[in-house]
């Protein structure tokens, strides 16, 4: 986050405060600042330092109180208004954050960061067209803003814009969707057609040659929030399994090679499931988890998981995907080492491991630390478009690079263009034994 400029005075006391701020000794900085005499000359300076410290400490209410005192004294207000929007966002007041970002833009229409943050707020509450419009405005001011490009690419999973706004990313997304539509569903699974598809994808991407994605998963969502990040965070901090996860089952498919993973991703885009279950395809990058190419369908019960497993087995056989195995899993693999009994699935009786009553208190304490939102500010969860788009093909290109890194030579049958190194080369650099491909 870019903060407004801080004028450093030749004052020993202030120098010590600033040094403590830089060293992240924020309480010490506050203590020293409290001892500084409050004269008219340094009042603005002191308020600026207070605001910087509160921002860094994420004490948003104190930060905002300080900013309201500081605002009337500043000639240039756009940076502080933008940061006040950040504070409101962090407090869960998304619509109020939008107001502050718009005020920042009114002060300075060339301040790109305000457009980007405004777009993130719109995206949070499901106003995708407005989000796209403001990501595009940021990119007009900052064409090399990689973070903004990735945000924009991700939003395209949930909406197909009515207007490309003369933006190259949106134009590229349009071309990818049209290209994918040309391949009939029964043809896209053929190896020769996958190669043709990827060749044409590269020709489209070469027009905008700096596009990439930092994702390794293609996820097809419904409007239900699985809240997996929250559950794993609770496990990491408290070593308990959240209650939600006891009713979470997955159908897991493991493939031998990247070609079959790509085929499975196309199948997941088209397969009909009564409850439109969340499904994803991914390459494995977790340092302790075996298996390289995986697909998951998330289910609400073991019974539903068994039914979907049968449907998926039939579809996989029909298409000609060579699977290594297909199985049912209970929740996330991260839980298994700590709680081996959680992994076991009993189909005809109660599960061996049950949720412990005292864990609910831990979950409540965790959740109470998260700001409560009004209805209008609640995060909007939407289903994905169901179209093969720019985000999908950029992830597939990451999969192809992954195949090259781990020695899966099957990728050569569908891709013969140059493969550049990506973040994955470093991400799995120390996983050579775990990821080893046996022909």
CA end-to-end distance (rounded Å), the chain: 48
Same domain, 37 and 166: no
List the beta bridge partners of residue 280: 219, 296
Residue 49 within a domain: yes
Residue 205 within a domain: yes
Residue 1 within a domain: no
Is residue 173 within 8 A of residue 390, CB to CB? The reply is yes
- Report the pLDDT value the prediction gives residue 9, as an integer from 0 to 100: 44
Exposure class string for 30-43: b at 16+ Cβ within 10 A, else e: bebbeeeeeeeebe
pLDDT, one tens digit per residue, over 220-255 is 999 999 999 999 999 999 999 999 999 999 999 999
Same domain, 175 and 139: no
Domain CATH for 73: 1.25.40.10
Neighbours of 111 (CB within 10 A): 21
Residue whose C-alpha is closest to residue 160's, from 174, 149, 150: 174
Residue whose C-alpha is closest to residue 382's, from 221, 151, 162: 221
Same domain, 254 and 390: yes
- Report the pLDDT value the prediction gives residue 115, as an integer from 0 to 100: 98
- Report the pLDDT value the prediction gives residue 187, as an integer from 0 to 100: 82
With 0-12 / 13-18 / 19 or more C-beta atoms within 10 angstroms meaning exposed / middle / buried, residue 378 is middle
Say how far apart CA 232 and CA 116 lie, in whole Å: 28
Residue 10 φ/ψ, nearest 5 degrees: -80, 65
Structure tokens of 142?
Answer: 């900052």
Same domain, 97 and 132: yes
Instruction: Name the DSSP letter for residue 353.
Output: S
Please compute, for residue 431, the number of CA atoms within 13 A of its CA located in the half-sphere on the CB side. Answer: 22
Identify the three-state secondary structure at position 146: helix
Residue whose C-alpha is closest to residue 53's, from 39, 68, 63, 43: 63
Residue 328 within a domain: yes
State which of 121, 145, 169 marks the end of a domain: 145
Residue 151 within a domain: no
Say how far apart CA 253 and CA 281 lie, in whole Å: 9
Same domain, 45 and 163: no
Contacts of 366-372 with CB under 8 Å at 24 or more apart are 366/233, 366/234, 366/237, 366/238, 370/92, 371/90, 371/91, 371/92, 371/93, 372/92
Same domain, 399 and 333: yes
State which of 118, 145, 172 marks the end of a domain: 145
- Report the pLDDT value the prediction gives residue 373, as an integer from 0 to 100: 95
Identify the three-state secondary structure at position 217: strand
Same domain, 65 and 203: no
Same domain, 318 and 236: yes
Residue whose C-alpha is closest to residue 315's, from 193, 57, 97, 307: 307
What range does the domain containing 117 cover? 12-145
Instruction: Name the DSSP letter for residue 208.
Output: G
Kind and range of the H or E run holding 330:
strand 323-330
Same domain, 321 and 429: yes
In order of 63, 148, 288, 331, 395, the CA distances from 235 in angstroms are 31, 31, 16, 12, 28
State which of 145, 166, 200 marks the end of a domain: 145
Same domain, 120 and 176: no
Residues contacting 329, CB < 8 A, separation 6+:
249, 250, 251, 252, 343, 345
Query: pTM of the full predicted structure?
Result: 0.92
Same domain, 128 and 170: no
Per the structure, the count of domains in the chain is 2
Residue 253 φ/ψ, nearest 5 degrees: -115, 130
Per-residue confidence in pLDDT tens, the chain, 439 aa? 444 444 444 478 888 999 999 999 999 999 998 887 665 457 888 899 999 999 999 999 999 999 999 999 999 999 999 999 999 999 999 999 999 999 999 999 999 999 999 999 999 999 999 999 999 999 999 999 999 999 999 999 999 998 999 999 999 999 999 999 998 777 889 999 999 999 999 999 998 778 999 999 999 999 999 999 999 999 999 999 999 999 999 999 999 999 999 999 999 999 999 999 999 999 999 998 999 999 999 999 999 999 999 999 999 999 999 999 999 999 999 999 999 999 999 887 788 899 999 999 999 999 999 999 999 999 999 999 999 999 999 999 999 999 999 999 999 999 999 998 999 999 999 999 999 886 5
Residue 119 within a domain: yes
Q: Which residue has the tokens 């905002």?
A: 64
Same domain, 420 and 327: yes
């Amino acid at each position: 986050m870019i903060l407004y400029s801080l004028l450093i005075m030749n004052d020993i006391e202030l120098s010590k405060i600033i040094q403590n701020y830089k060293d992240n000794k924020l309480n010490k900085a506050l203590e020293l600042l409290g001892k500084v005499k409050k004269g008219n000359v340094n009042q603005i300076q002191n308020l600026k330092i207070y605001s910087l410290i509160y921002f860094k400490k994420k004490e948003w209410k104190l930060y905002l109180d300080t900013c309201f005192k500081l605002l009337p004294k500043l000639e240039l207000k756009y940076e502080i208004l933008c940061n006040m929007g950040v504070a409101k966002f962090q407090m869960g007041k998304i619509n109020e954050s939008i107001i502050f970002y718009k005020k920042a833009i009114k002060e300075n229409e060339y301040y790109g960061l305000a457009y980007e943050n405004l777009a993130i707020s719109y995206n949070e509450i499901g106003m995708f067209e407005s989000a796209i419009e403001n990501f595009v405005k940021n990119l007009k001011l900052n064409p090399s803003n990689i973070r903004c490009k990735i945000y924009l690419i991700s939003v395209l999973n949930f909406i197909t814009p009515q207007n490309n706004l003369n933006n190259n990313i949106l134009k590229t997304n349009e071309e990818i969707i049209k290209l994918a539509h040309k391949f009939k569903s029964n043809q896209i699974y053929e190896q020769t057609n996958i190669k043709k598809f990827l060749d044409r994808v590269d020709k489209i991407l070469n027009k905008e040659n700096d596009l990439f994605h930092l994702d390794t998963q293609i996820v097809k969502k419904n409007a239900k929030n699985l809240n997996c990040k929250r559950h794993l965070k609770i496990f990491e901090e408290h070593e308990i399994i959240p209650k939600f996860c006891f009713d979470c089952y997955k159908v897991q498919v493991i493939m031998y090679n990247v070609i079959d993973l790509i085929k499975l991703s196309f199948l997941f885009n088209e397969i009909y499931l009564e409850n439109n279950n969340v499904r994803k395809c991914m390459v494995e990058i977790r340092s302790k988890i075996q298996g390289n190419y995986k697909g998951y369908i998330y289910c609400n019960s073991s019974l539903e998981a068994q039914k979907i497993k049968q449907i998926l087995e039939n579809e996989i056989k029909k298409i000609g995907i060579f699977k290594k195995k297909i199985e049912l899993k209970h929740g996330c693999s991260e839980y298994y080492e700590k709680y081996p009994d959680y992994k076991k699935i009993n189909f005809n009786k109660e599960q061996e491991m049950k949720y412990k009553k005292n864990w609910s208190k831990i979950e409540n304490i965790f959740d109470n630390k998260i700001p409560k939102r009004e209805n209008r500010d609640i995060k909007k969860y939407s289903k994905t478009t169901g179209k093969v788009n720019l985000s999908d093909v950029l992830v597939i290109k990451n999969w192809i690079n992954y195949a090259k890194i781990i020695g899966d030579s099957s990728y050569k049958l569908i891709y013969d263009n140059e493969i550049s190194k990506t973040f994955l080369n470093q991400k799995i650099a120390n996983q050579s034994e775990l990821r080893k491909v046996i022909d």
